[in-house]
Amino acid sequence: MSHSRAISQDEVALRTPLCDLISCRYPILQAGMGGVARSELAAAVSTAGGFGCLGMVREPPELIAREIASVRSRTDRPFSVNLIPAATDPVLFEEELAVCLDAKVRAMIFFWDVVPEAIETAKRAGCRVLYQVGSLAAARAAEAAGADAVIVQGVEAGGHVHGSVSSLVLLPQVAGALRIPVVGSGGFSSGASLVAALALGAQGIHCGTAFLATQESFAHDLHKRRVVAASCEETIHTDAFAINWPPNSPVRVIASDLTETLGERLFGYKVEDLPREAIAMEDHRPIYLFSTDSPLQSMSGDLERLAMFAGQVVGRIEKIEPAGEIVAAIARDALAILSDLARRGANA
């Protein structure tokens, strides 16, 4: 178990209203990353002072209950659970959310199309709701539906990408239009990027790629090694990985021999036109070519041809390390930059 300590005078510079809203030390949120973000990762991030998240997209309610209990056995710090209403069978989603609320999870993170009923159900149970969006219109819809904060995702993000505008442009636009806290997502992995997000009007950052290649991540070692090896130019934005999600759901993945076969046609794929070719297995579940499954430690088979999700910031990830060290480094570097900027201002 971790135990909270007093906030130092230096750390006050990083404390935003978002930290009080979700009870974290630093405004550094770990992305849900379905399959990849299990209890070990979420607990490590929260223990280090960030805000951990379980990525439980389309998972059985029994697994969600076990993962929530597992996080709590590792840390006493708050964390969230990520579900995706628009990409989940309604009955399953209702069961998933019920498990989270019965366990008194303090915060839910939803993504993709804004579903007001999901927000209402969580809020009625006393839960904080953060909604990840990819446009100003969706951000306004989430605020109107009662979300406590929005996570604004730029097109440079990894995994599923819901918008078409870069973080640098979208983030200040949304921050200037909403009354609730805004969090930057897509391209954030360092202390410098946290300071930049704060300067753009955000109250924190939401990091996926930065935490994918960590010791605690449930990603397969193959995926982690690809993240470490890839450059910023080696990601592909495409809707070819279409099986398991609603139509027209683009993703960003690391380029591979499989994405080379797409040639110039990166968009316009329809799930009904894709063959059901099982190339891997997880327990007794077949994993299909061009599905949205990424390689996990629990999978076996031709994992090289699965979706290697990562954002453009992948070029900054140089080694596999503990998640807690990443949180500490982001906070430490951000504080150093803020201190340096203040010193320069005083000397001007």
pLDDT tier, 183 (very low <50, low <70, confident <90, very high otherwise): very high
pLDDT digits (tens, 9 = 90+) for 125-181: 999 999 999 999 999 999 999 999 999 999 999 999 999 999 999 999 999 999 999
Residue type present at position 255: A
**How large a percentage of the chain has pLDDT more than 90?**
94
pLDDT tier, 345 (very low <50, low <70, confident <90, very high otherwise): confident
Q: How far is CA 85 from the centre of its chain?
A: 15
Burial bucket for residue 328 (CB in 10 Å: 0-12, 13-18, 19+) = middle
User: Distance between CA 174 and CA 340 in Å, rounded?
Assistant: 28
pTM of this structure:
0.95
**Helix (H/G/I), strand (E/B), else coil: 111:** strand
pLDDT digits (tens, 9 = 90+) for 53-69: 999 999 999 999 999 99
Which domains are delineated in the chain?
A: 15-217 (3.20.20.70), 221-314 (no CATH)
pLDDT tier, 347 (very low <50, low <70, confident <90, very high otherwise): confident
Q: How far is CA 211 from the centre of its chain?
A: 9
pLDDT digits (tens, 9 = 90+) for 246-280: 999 999 999 999 999 999 999 999 999 999 999 99
- Closest by CA to 153, choosing from 207, 106, 201, 114, is 207
